[in-house]
Amino acid sequence: MNKFLTLLQSPTPLLADGAMGTLLHAHGVEHTHCFDELNLTEPAKVADVHRQYIEAGAQIILTNTFGANRYKLHKHGLDDQTAEINRAGVEVARRVVEESGKPVLVAGDVGPLGVRIVPYGRVQLHEAREAFAEQIRALAGVDLLVIETMTDVYETVEAIAAAKTALPETPIVATMTFTRDDRTLLGDDPAKVAHALAEAGADVIGVNCSGGPAQLIRILREMRRAVPTSRFWIKPNAGWPEHVGGRVMYAAAPEYFRDYALEFWKAGANVMGGCCGTTPEHIAAMRKTLDSASMVTVEPVGMVTVQAAQNEPTEAPSQLAQKLAAGKFVFAVEMDPPRGLATQKLVAAASLLKEAGADVIDVADSPMARMRMSAWAVCDVIQRQVEIETTLHFPTRGRNLLRVQGDLLAAHALGIRNVFVVMGDPTSIGDYPEAADNYDLVPSGLIKLIKQGFNLGLDHSGTSIGQPTAFFAGSALNLCPPDPESEIKNLKRKLKAGADFFLTQPIYDPKKAKAFLDTFAEANGAPLNKPVLVGVLPLVSVRHANFLQNEVPGIVIPEETMERIHKAGEMASLEGVKIAIELIQQVKEWGQGVYIMPQFHRYDLVAEIIETVKS
């Protein structure tokens, strides 16, 4: 029987090696260089990495042939040396094993082709299979084949088929990489992947690369639940890569892998190791755990129910949600989308606000029912170009159920997670008073659809949308309502629908605003337990203050504040900044943040306010 298949029967999981690329890079090889070519040009460097992993206690080392297929080598002009590079990779590994005198297995490493195959690309299935077969034939002499870091199930199935014909006696490990939402790049879940790989004939299936140990153990459990009879391989990265000062850094320390080795074992892993960012220290730490552990009981398949796994959003909450949960006082600033195509000024202003310390940019949707660029596109521009999180204002008015749901899917696909649900301004007050003004949902209905539908993976009709969304849903609140009783009723309805946070109308009298929350607490029998971001609208001039006081329903400016603006005369905008700062200082005592609405595009004044309050 094959050595690998025999060893797989031992009760203790096998230990494979860690990253090759990470170490070669540390040896001074540039990321743009063809790592696989080193098997021919600098075999000593490759040998040194193998040697370090064997010394750390790895029982399986992977050849330095991850990218040694004709498509990837073609990019370096080396495709005519495909066979030589693979053969040299096996020779280097074999030589190091012999020198070590240890019974270490050599695995032929096979990575993705680096081209999209049909139906998402032009490369045909038979061409993919031929390319894999060409590489795998040249890997003859290895103890096992590892097809890893695959993103496309169809491509992986072709690789397995190629292995079965090219080296029929050699056991096959096939593992795929997953994105943050526990799906492959093409959207397949762990159960589907597990079935496909096992049915294609892989002896061992599993997961590698992706994120850190915490994510991969979750995927491993789901694969095992799907195909309990298979054998499992797990090789996580040292966490998600982060860009720090132009370098890619991995966070997870060797000790973290030491602790997780036991968890992998319990979760049913038959082979474990490390992927990107892991080093011989990580492998040595896992070795220690495997050597010292006694009486490990592998958990029964399906300890985590499928139901729970499918209904819980697996991705982390939005930054806004995390900051609010951590009790941080949050600064949100509203911006209006442009009336035309130009987004440069918007991006410049968002950068200024980010530098000043704003936590999130709120993007209004056609404020005052005036024609503007759709807000979700503006959120996307800001998130991508300024790298600050946004909150999408989402009016129900003017959208039927098709549009509402389609736009929610679009926003989520663009990476927008915070949504502020509003009724929206009636078109009659805007620049297209004749425009249709219908709606299928009121705000509390939309919150319910988001929180009790989309966030559980279901649309309005109860049909699956494939996976749950991870929206953080906000709703409007008036802290100085003309009719407190009806506002309290509204608030209760929004809470019942599942509202996560509230943005309020602008206030100028914090005592009065706080008094409303106290009234609510009394009527409700408990204080409002969701974060409130209090509306702050800096006054700019006497005329501006007069307009708000007299023409905007729901805004009440105290006599004293009006006087201060009057007295300031020419300096009214600076006095407005002062008033806003004082207001925020008072709100800090009971609110969870502020939601600042710049007037007349005076983003500079808002930056000043945030900087002063924060200093």
- Residue closer to Zn ion by CB (options 110, 209) is 209
- Residue closer to Zn ion by CB (options 104, 275) is 275
- Residue closer to Zn ion by CB (options 208, 383) is 208
- Residue closer to Zn ion by CB (options 175, 237) is 237
State how far the Cα of 518 lies from the Cα of 516, in Å rounded to an integer: 5
Using the contact rule CB under 5 A, the part of the chain among 205-213, 342-350, 418-426, 597-605 near Zn ion is: 205-213
How far the first Cα of the chain sits from its last, in Å, is 71
- Residue closer to Zn ion by CB (options 108, 239) is 239
**Binding characters for Zn ion, 156-175, by CB under 5 A (x = yes):** --------------------
Using the contact rule CB under 5 A, the part of the chain among 115-123, 206-214, 248-256, 348-356 near Zn ion is: 206-214
Residue ranges in 482-501 that form contacts with Zn ion under rule CB under 5 A: none
Element (H, E) at 451: helix 443-452
Q: How many CA atoms lie within 13 A of 277 on its CB side?
A: 24
- Residue closer to Zn ion by CB (options 144, 275) is 275
Kindly state the smallest distance separating residue 36's Cβ from Zn ion, in Å: 16
Using the contact rule CB under 5 A, the part of the chain among 267-275, 296-304, 309-317, 468-476 near Zn ion is: 267-275
Kindly state the smallest distance separating residue 235's Cβ from Zn ion, in Å: 8
Kindly state the smallest distance separating residue 21's Cβ from Zn ion, in Å: 8
- Whose structure tokens read 């082709």? 113
- Residue closer to Zn ion by CB (options 23, 330) is 23
**Beta-ladder partners of 110:** 147
Contact 533, 594 (CB under 8 A): yes
Contact 61, 50 (CB under 8 A): yes
CA angle 117, 122, 124 (to 5 degrees): 60
Residue ranges in 507-526 that form contacts with Zn ion under rule CB under 5 A: none
Query: What is the SS3 assignment for 565?
Result: helix
Count the site residues for Zn ion by CB under 5 A: 4
State how far the Cα of 254 lies from the Cα of 90, in Å rounded to an integer: 28
Residue 561: CB partners within 8 Å, gap ≥ 6? 508, 539, 545, 579
* Residue 271 engages Zn ion in binding (rule: CB under 5 A): no
Q: How many CA atoms lie within 13 A of 594 on its CB side?
A: 28
User: Rounded to 5, what percent of the chain is helix, strand, coil?
Assistant: 45, 15, 40
Residue ranges in 221-250 that form contacts with Zn ion under rule CB under 5 A: 237
Contact 491, 441 (CB under 8 A): no
Kindly state the smallest distance separating residue 4's Cβ from Zn ion, in Å: 22
In the list 58, 139, 204, 275, the residue contacting Zn ion (rule: CB under 5 A) is 275
Kindly state the smallest distance separating residue 128's Cβ from Zn ion, in Å: 21
State how far the Cα of 368 lies from the Cα of 426, in Å rounded to an integer: 8
- Residue closer to Zn ion by CB (options 176, 392) is 176
Tokens representing 594 are 């502020």
* Residue 209 engages Zn ion in binding (rule: CB under 5 A): yes
Specify the DSSP class assigned to residue 472: E
**Binding characters for Zn ion, 308-347, by CB under 5 A (x = yes):** ----------------------------------------
Contact 361, 411 (CB under 8 A): no
Kindly state the smallest distance separating residue 497's Cβ from Zn ion, in Å: 42
- Residue closer to Zn ion by CB (options 237, 279) is 237
- Residue closer to Zn ion by CB (options 39, 237) is 237
Tokens representing 182 are 């526990």
- Residue closer to Zn ion by CB (options 281, 440) is 281
Using the contact rule CB under 5 A, the part of the chain among 22-30, 112-120, 160-168, 207-215 near Zn ion is: 207-215
Kindly state the smallest distance separating residue 210's Cβ from Zn ion, in Å: 8
Kindly state the smallest distance separating residue 528's Cβ from Zn ion, in Å: 45
Residue ranges in 528-557 that form contacts with Zn ion under rule CB under 5 A: none
- Residue closer to Zn ion by CB (options 178, 502) is 178
- Residue closer to Zn ion by CB (options 236, 337) is 236
Kindly state the smallest distance separating residue 397's Cβ from Zn ion, in Å: 47
Tokens representing 214 are 């915490």
State how far the Cα of 405 lies from the Cα of 460, in Å rounded to an integer: 8
Kindly state the smallest distance separating residue 302's Cβ from Zn ion, in Å: 28
* Residue 23 engages Zn ion in binding (rule: CB under 5 A): no
- Residue closer to Zn ion by CB (options 84, 281) is 281
Using the contact rule CB under 5 A, the part of the chain among 268-276, 300-308, 490-498, 569-577 near Zn ion is: 268-276
Kindly state the smallest distance separating residue 236's Cβ from Zn ion, in Å: 8
Using the contact rule CB under 5 A, the part of the chain among 140-148, 203-211, 413-421, 565-573 near Zn ion is: 203-211
| Amino acid (one-letter) located at 7 | L
Element (H, E) at 132: helix 125-138
DSSP β-ladder status, 231-236 and 271-272: parallel
Residues in the chain: 615
Kindly state the smallest distance separating residue 214's Cβ from Zn ion, in Å: 16
State how far the Cα of 165 lies from the Cα of 126, in Å rounded to an integer: 13
Tokens representing 62 are 């992977």
Within a 10 A sphere around the Cβ of 27, how many other Cβ atoms? 14
In the list 20, 105, 106, 276, the residue contacting Zn ion (rule: CB under 5 A) is 276
Contact 315, 180 (CB under 8 A): yes
- Residue closer to Zn ion by CB (options 276, 330) is 276
- Crossing angle of helices 603-614 and 344-356, in 10° steps, is 10
Kindly state the smallest distance separating residue 320's Cβ from Zn ion, in Å: 30
Kindly state the smallest distance separating residue 445's Cβ from Zn ion, in Å: 44
Kindly state the smallest distance separating residue 274's Cβ from Zn ion, in Å: 9
Burial (Cβ within 10 Å: 0-12, 13-18, ≥19) of residue 531: buried
- Crossing angle of helices 213-226 and 254-266, in 10° steps, is 10
HEC readout, 173-214: EEEECCCCCCCCCCCCCHHHHHHHHHHHCCCEEEEEECCCHH
Residues that bind Zn ion (CB under 5 A): 209, 237, 275-276
